[in-house]
Amino acid sequence: MKLSVIIPAYNEENRIPKTLREIDKYLKEQPYEYEILVVNDGSSDNTVNIVNELKKEIPNLKLIDNKENHGKGYVVRQGMLTALGAYRLFTDADNSTSIDQIEKMWPWFEQGYDIVIGSRDVEGAKLDPPQPFIRRFIGDIFKLIRKIICGLWDVQDTQCGFKCFTAKAADDIFSLTKIDGFSFDVEALLIGKHLGYKIKEVPVVWKNNLESKVRLKSAAKMLTQLLQIRMNLLKGVYAKKERK
């Protein structure tokens, strides 16, 4: 299997049917095997029932159903370590970055990169519509704080929900991640760099979703998580585990 698409889902009954159909429609036209793996994060709405119904329509669709809410980092980790694909992409249930953007990533994998991430902050990226001023301001502040605390100075956008890893990179990185919340992206990329994996940032077309679950309260939690990541790094928590 070439590609696994992991979709973390928390109360996504209204958006996930369209997203799953669009992803499947595109991928079934490609000359490779794929799977779509939805990881439910303790949804209280009808997300699970809808995904189970869609399995009749989308044969390659799978579901991991967590009964309790753990956080986006937790379910992405779970999906990455469960997936079977040689390449493992996680993308958001709101479909802000459409699946066809994966085509921008394949050439970089062919050149030897291990992690290719979508970016809204590099030349060539398109945001439709542009983010509101307050969201841009919070994002810029987060970026500066993230660089100061955790580094990754050469990565401009750690938070775009469209990232692809080789199977080996995914296994090595997500077996070490600890962050269950929204800052898991920073942690995963930092571990990847720490382990010597090559990271490439590519511009994507991104549709601004005004219903995003990232709020000011979430941003405050992310700051705490950044400090935790820094402490974990200093303590050697992210040292690569030796395989038996």
Cα 55 from Cα 34, distance rounded (Å):
14
Give the tokens for residue 40: 């439910």
Q: Identify whether 94 is part of a domain.
A: yes
pLDDT above 50 (res 219): yes
In CATH, what number is assigned to the domain containing residue 199? 3.90.550.10
What pLDDT, on a 0 to 100 scale, did the predictor assign at position 18?
97
pLDDT band at 242 (very low <50, low <70, confident <90, very high): very low
**Residue 244 within any structural domain of the chain:** no
In a domain, 242, yes or no: no
Q: What whole-number percentage of the chain has pLDDT above 90? A: 83
37 pLDDT higher than 70? yes
The answer to the question of residue 75 being in a domain is: yes
- Helical segments of the chain, H only: 16-27, 47-54, 72-82, 106-110, 133-150, 167-174, 184-194, 216-235
Least confident range of 17-31, 39-53, 208-222, 225-239: 208-222
Q: What is the pLDDT of residue 128?
A: 85
Residue 241: predicted pLDDT:
59
Q: Per the domain annotation, does 240 fall within a domain?
A: no
Residue 151 lies in a domain: yes
Query: Does residue 243 sit within a domain?
Result: no
pTM value is 0.92
Average pLDDT over residues 93-114: 97
Omega of the bond prior to 130 within 30 degrees of 0, cis? no
Residue 39 lies in a domain: yes
Is residue 139 very low, low, confident or very high in pLDDT (cuts 50, 70, 90)?
confident
Q: What pLDDT, in 10s, does the model give residues 163-190? A: 999 999 999 999 999 999 999 999 999 9
Domain range for 91 is: 3-235
Provide the number of structural domains found in the chain.
1
